Amino acid sequence: MSDTPHVTGASPRARRPARRRRRAADNGLAYGFLTPAISCFALFSWYPLVRGVILSFQQVNFVSDPEWVGFANFSAIFHDPLFWTAWWNTVKFTGIALAFGYVVPFFLAVVVNEMRHLKGYFRVAVYLPVMLPPLVVVLLWQYFYDPGNGLFNTVLRGLHLPESQWTQSPRMAMVSLVLVSTWANMGTATIMYLAALQNIPGELYEAAELEGANVWQRLWYVTIPHMRFILAVLLMLQIVATMQVFIEPFQLTGTTNPDTITVMVLIYRYAFTVNHDFGMAAAMSVLLFVVLGAFSMAYIRLISREGTRA
Amino acid sequence: MSETRSLFSDAQLRRGRARWVYFVVLTLLTLLFAAAFLFPMYWMVIGSLKEPAELARPIPTWIPESFHPEVYVQAWNELNIGRFFLNTAFYAFGAWLVQLVVDVTAAYALSKLRPVLGNVVLGAMLSTLLLPTAALLVPAYLTISDVPLLHVNLLDTPWALWLPSAANAFNIYILKQFFDQIPDELLDAARMDGAGSLRILVSIVLPLSRPVLAVVSIFAVIAMWKDFLWPLLVLQEPRTQTLSVALSRLSATGRVPLTEVMAGLVIASVPMIAAFLVFQRSILKGLTAGGLKG
């Protein structure tokens, strides 16, 4: 204890440690509140990301310690004929899925937006399949697709049209998977398009009409330019989502079918069925991550650009 | 009511021939939506109620000749659908609770306690939105099977679903956005009265945040109910499985009567459809407000 005379109203020098102590207590408290979340993120997001990259250069078995194998995992998957098949199938799936699930909802939303009745019904109906568990959807469609007496072939037979083998025909299998997936997910895109359409000011259409624009010109010069942002956002989101397709091929055509094996199914196969090789699965995941990361980055740039403009 | 207009104005749609065209399009669209989106659900329900022999006929019946609701009892007991349903409900409830506790406390700290480096933590969390879930599948599975530092195996336990679901940046982001709008003066006044941070969170912040808590809750339950791939990997013990994983396994055996599988599908769908009809406003709003994948 020093015997300096006591000063009321603490000198700056004496106040600072006190404030720092309080700040420290506050920070301690705040990080106390943050601890559960940080632990969850650390264990299940941040660490797995790093570990995934490390794993892709390792040979793992659960008996001895993992050993470094350089690019052996990558070279192993590059030499697997299924690797190229899976990528090609995934790109094909994404392409067809965009044609159905990105373009069709746009026109559907434009037409629904013109309706002056039953708006609520259209919204609920189109979004209902999105609420179903995906596994329910694929099993239901599996039964529709049944070549013998599934609903689709029964209807085609009734109309005297040629029947299809659907998921069991090499030519139709991929389209069949896209149809299921689109049916289950198109509600999301439709609802988002509708929300964007409702934000277009009516005066713009008035003005275009006064200029003598017909309905197609109004669609082209007023509607589409205003939808640019949502069109770009949904394009990115749908590419990222459809490239991760798993449940449709897994349930409808199995994990061994070369006509429909996708990147995610192959990752599953490397890790959990045929190979039991986590290194190969991790290498495949890293490649998928790099490809999808590019699209994700584009998406984030879009969002933040829009944020600064708004 | 002011006249809203889109490509066409109300007046244009009311005039002469346009009016007929409008009603033809409206009728066709109504029927199209009914056929495309509602009919498959109807088919699922009546498929479960038909007699197995009737369901297997090459020419299907549009209305069942005889109704057999007892199939639901059979599926519930013999296929163990009851157990899987309760499992799924339990997992969804737990995911909801864990997500609320973990993500609310984090968002509150970032929004109101503003610690040093808070923005860095938030940025690190938000950056995980960029990660495709698929890329983390294998390492996350290995993490669950042997949690670092603790060295416990969480496979086949509810924690394998709950803990990863709490690492949800989307939740933290929308909760923090909402908390940011609550004036600090309110909190300071309570602090003057001697309330601690936890007390303030529980008695002031949470009661004001009902709308955002509702959105987070609904999405937490829906996500858990719909999930398939992750539960498929981490719940290998049949007793612990979710409805989706169990139905996938049961249908693959090919030994289960189709009517019972159908009944299982209906049982898996009913809670989701009911939730949607009750909360449709919040669900559709949450979807467009986020602009992100929920």
Answer whether B5 sits within 8 Å of A148, measured CB to CB.
no
pLDDT score recorded for residue A22: 60
Please check whether residue B225 touches A, CB under 8 A: yes
Closest CA to A145 of A165, A170, A175: A165
On whether the CB atoms of residues B124 and A41 are closer than 8 A, the answer is yes
Closest CA to B294 of B248, B227, B209: B227
Helix (H) or strand (E) holding A58: strand A58-59
pLDDT score recorded for residue A305: 77
CA distance A118 to chain B (A): 8
Answer whether B268 sits within 8 Å of A135, measured CB to CB.
yes
Does position B3 have pLDDT exceeding 60, yes or no? Answer: no
Averaged pLDDT for residues B46-66: 84
Return the DSSP state at A6.
P
**Which residue in B has a C-alpha nearest to residue A238's C-alpha?**
B293
Does position B183 have pLDDT exceeding 50, yes or no? Answer: yes
**Which residue in B has a C-alpha nearest to residue A43's C-alpha?**
B143
A chain contacts of residue B195, beta-carbon cutoff 8 Å = none
Mutate to test the interface with A, among B7, B81, B130, B288 (most CBs of A within 10 A): B7
DSSP B211-227: HHHHHHHHHHHHHHHH-
CB contact set of A45 (below 8 Å; sequence gap of 6+): B128, B131, B136, B167
Buried/exposed A108-117: b ≥16 CB within 10 Å, e otherwise: bbbbbbbbee
Return the DSSP state at B149.
T
CA distance A11 to chain B (A): 25
Averaged pLDDT for residues B108-121: 92
A chain contacts of residue B293, beta-carbon cutoff 8 Å = 237, 241
Please check whether residue B19 touches A, CB under 8 A: no
**Which residue in B has a C-alpha nearest to residue A298's C-alpha?**
B130
Q: CA B54, CA A252: separation in Å to the nearest integer?
A: 24
Q: How many residues does chain A have?
A: 310
pLDDT score recorded for residue B207: 94
Of A111, A131, A139, the CB nearest to B265: A139
The count of CB pairs under 8 A between chains A and B is: 278
Q: CA B201, CA A166: separation in Å to the nearest integer?
A: 56
Answer whether B138 sits within 8 Å of A114, measured CB to CB.
no
Answer whether A288 sits within 8 Å of B135, measured CB to CB.
yes
Residue A296 is encoded by which pair of tokens?
């994700």
The residues pairing with A68 across neighbouring beta strands, listed in sequence order, are A58
DSSP B186-213: HHHHHHHTT--HHHHIIIIIHHHTHHHH
Answer whether A144 sits within 8 Å of B163, measured CB to CB.
no
Helix (H) or strand (E) holding A37: helix A12-41
A chain contacts of residue B265, beta-carbon cutoff 8 Å = 136, 139-140
B chain contacts of residue A113, beta-carbon cutoff 8 Å = 6-7
Q: Please state, as a whole number, how many other Cβ atoms lie within 10 Å of the Cβ of residue B273.
A: 14
Which of B:37-76 have CB within 8 Å of A? 37-38, 40-41, 43-44, 47, 56-60
**Which residue in A has a C-alpha nearest to residue B40's C-alpha?**
A140
Whole-Å CA distances, A2 to A5, A6, A10, A18, B124: 9, 10, 15, 18, 47
B chain contacts of residue A52, beta-carbon cutoff 8 Å = 135-136, 138-139
Mutate to test the interface with A, among B31, B55, B127, B138 (most CBs of A within 10 A): B138
Mutate to test the interface with B, among A27, A31, A41, A157 (most CBs of B within 10 A): A41
Helix (H) or strand (E) holding B137: helix B133-145
What pLDDT tens digit does each residue of chain A (310 aa) get? 444 444 444 444 444 555 555 666 688 889 999 999 999 999 999 999 999 999 999 988 766 778 888 899 999 999 999 999 999 999 999 999 999 999 999 999 999 999 989 999 999 999 999 999 999 999 999 989 988 878 888 888 888 888 888 888 888 999 999 999 999 999 999 999 999 999 898 889 988 988 888 888 999 999 999 998 899 889 998 999 999 999 999 999 988 888 999 999 999 999 998 888 999 999 999 999 999 988 888 887 877 777 655 4
Does position B292 have pLDDT exceeding 50, yes or no? Answer: no
Q: CA B247, CA B261: separation in Å to the nearest integer?
A: 7
Whole-Å CA distances, A308 to A237, A303, A305, B203: 21, 9, 5, 35
Q: What SS3 class is residue A59?
A: strand
On whether the CB atoms of residues B48 and B265 are closer than 8 A, the answer is yes
The reply to whether the predicted model has a pTM over 0.85 is yes
Averaged pLDDT for residues B142-158: 92
Answer whether A202 sits within 8 Å of B4, measured CB to CB.
yes
Q: Please state, as a whole number, how many other Cβ atoms lie within 10 Å of the Cβ of residue B109.
A: 27
Q: Please state, as a whole number, how many other Cβ atoms lie within 10 Å of the Cβ of residue A298.
A: 15
CA Rg, chain B, in Å?
25
Closest CA to B164 of B229, B212, B110, B259: B229
Residue B73 pLDDT level (bands cut at 50, 70, 90) = very high
Of B37, B128, B136, the CB nearest to A128: B37
A chain contacts of residue B114, beta-carbon cutoff 8 Å = 30
Closest CA to A299 of A241, A226, A247: A241
CA Rg, chain A, in Å?
28
Q: Please, what sign has the CA dihedral across residues A279, A284, A288, A293?
A: positive
